[in-house]
Structure 1
Amino acid sequence: MTRYDIAGLQAALAAPTTAIRLRAALAAGTEPDARLLDALLRRCRVEPDFYVRDMLTWAITRQPASSTVPALIAELDSPIPQARSQALHTLSKIGSAAAWPSVTRELLTDADDEVARSAWRAAVILVPRGGEAALAEILATQFGRGDGDLHRSLSRAFVELGEAALPVVHRAARSADPVIRGHAVATEQVIADPESAFVFDVEQARRVAALGE
């Protein structure tokens, strides 16, 4: 039995003050209680502060996976993008193989960049042995998407997939689209040397594409 008041902690998770919400999430993780799971999930959908979201994730991972994984999988169908991205992030932290079938192509190519990014990170952690090449094929459809930070995230996902991703990346590096080609070439460089800086000038690639060079 927890030492704190459940109703009071549930209210604190939605308090207007960030520091109060952070302390509430910390308390929820320090003394896990199944009665708080729904409140933690609800807050994940709307919490604006990065550090509070991170603490909410930690608090959820402190509860039994037998309860959290099904609840998080259900969140993947939410119409709220942050609910989907936070659920994916938390599933990647739990690392349960049971979550893998729920990391679908739809999530990996989600229109929301943060959802897609979270799906990439979760997928490379959860993918079963032998499934890396098929996952790489889906991820390759995302080459050239978004801004530099998103490009870097996708390239890091390919690094995590290892050798199974190389044929797909090499093929993309020969694409007629200069944006896709440039992103894939930069990814090849990071795979060859994971400690190297990610270098891809997407604006230059787009100028080349516009000029038809």
Structure 2
Amino acid sequence: MTMPQEDTDTVRALQGLESGNPSVRLRAALAVGSTPDPRFVDKLVERCAVEPEFYVREMLTWALARHSSSMTVPRLVDALRSERAQARSQALHTLSKIGDRQAWPAITRALLTDDDDEVARSAWRAAVVLVPEGEEPELAAVLTTQFGRGKRETQLSLSRALIALGEVIMPTVRAARTDLDPRVRAHAIATERLLRDPDAGFEFAIEEAKRVVALGGTSQEG
């Protein structure tokens, strides 16, 4: 008894996602996204957790976004509890692309302050996409606890996330300008300057903020 062509294609695609060749995995993810099928969802989420190639992960995310959010969101939310950092990070990234606010309760403080920088950055980006109207100030209060964290790339990600929330961030940002930690103060000042002047650039803003902090100021503008 021969297998129907549809089932054969499904098996071939699922096998392709496991190939040792990243180009084959990429084509398989493209094929799966081009013909969405609920049978693919679990495998796509599973591959997101372990896929080593960035461009293949992006295709996996695209393929998941092509499926019904009623199928994908619950499985991605489950992945947020994984002990594997990449599973959490990629699930957050995919949820931000899907944009279904039913996932918002899963964006916990623990994820927003995750020890892994990539997980935290993905959580920040997902949070500003999914936050319900009216809850932005509470989100800003959590995000500003991360001021001064990590290297420039991480700090820029945090500033961008906060700036995306708009003026509601200002009370907590201003409070952070008086923090005892000079890194926190500098990051808060730089974020405010970027909010006021998006064209300034983060490097300029952070260096200018460091000078202000070094001189003992808190840049009490506005």
Letter in 1 for 2:175: R
Select which of 48, 57, 62 maps to 2:66.
62
Letter in 2 for 1:85: S
Identity of matched residues, %: 53
Q: Distance in 2 between matches of 1:2 and 1:117?
A: 39
CA RMSD of aligned residues (A): 1.8
Q: Distance in 2 between matches of 1:119 and 1:194?
A: 22
Does residue 36 in structure 1 map to residue 36 in structure 2? no
Q: Distance in 2 between matches of 1:20 and 1:146?
A: 35
Aligned to 2:117: 113
Q: Distance in 2 between matches of 1:189 and 1:106?
A: 28
Select which of 155, 164, 188 maps to 2:168.
164
Letter in 1 for 2:191: T
Superimposed CA distance per residue, residues 64-116 of structure 1 (whole angstroms, 9 cap, x where no aligned partner): 01111111111111111111111111111111111000000000000111110
Q: Distance in 2 between matches of 1:61 and 1:18?
A: 20
Q: Distance in 2 between matches of 1:185 and 1:110?
A: 23
Q: Distance in 1 between matches of 2:14 and 2:97?
A: 23
Structural mapping, 1:58-207, within 5 Å: 58-199=62-203, 200-201=206-207
Q: Distance in 1 between matches of 2:147 and 2:21?
A: 40
Does residue 5 in structure 1 map to residue 9 in structure 2? yes
> Structure 1, unaligned stretches of length 5 or more?
209-213
Letter in 2 for 1:59: A
1:4 to partner: Cα distance? 6.0
Runs of 4 or more off by more than 3 Å in structure 1? 1-4
> Structure 2, unaligned stretches of length 5 or more?
215-222
TM-score scaled by length of structure 1: 0.92
Letter in 2 for 1:95: G
Superimposed CA distance per residue, residues 97-155 of structure 1 (whole angstroms, 9 cap, x where no aligned partner): 11000000000000111110000000011111110110011001100111100000000
Q: Which has the larger radius of gyration?
A: 2
TM-score scaled by length of structure 2: 0.88
1:2 to partner: Cα distance? 5.2
Q: Distance in 2 between matches of 1:90 and 1:3?
A: 27
Secondary structure of the residue that 1:5 maps to in structure 2?
helix
Superimposed CA distance per residue, residues 15-72 of structure 1 (whole angstroms, 9 cap, x where no aligned partner): 1111111111111111111111111111100111111100000000000011111111
1:3 to partner: Cα distance? 8.1
Letter in 2 for 1:49: E
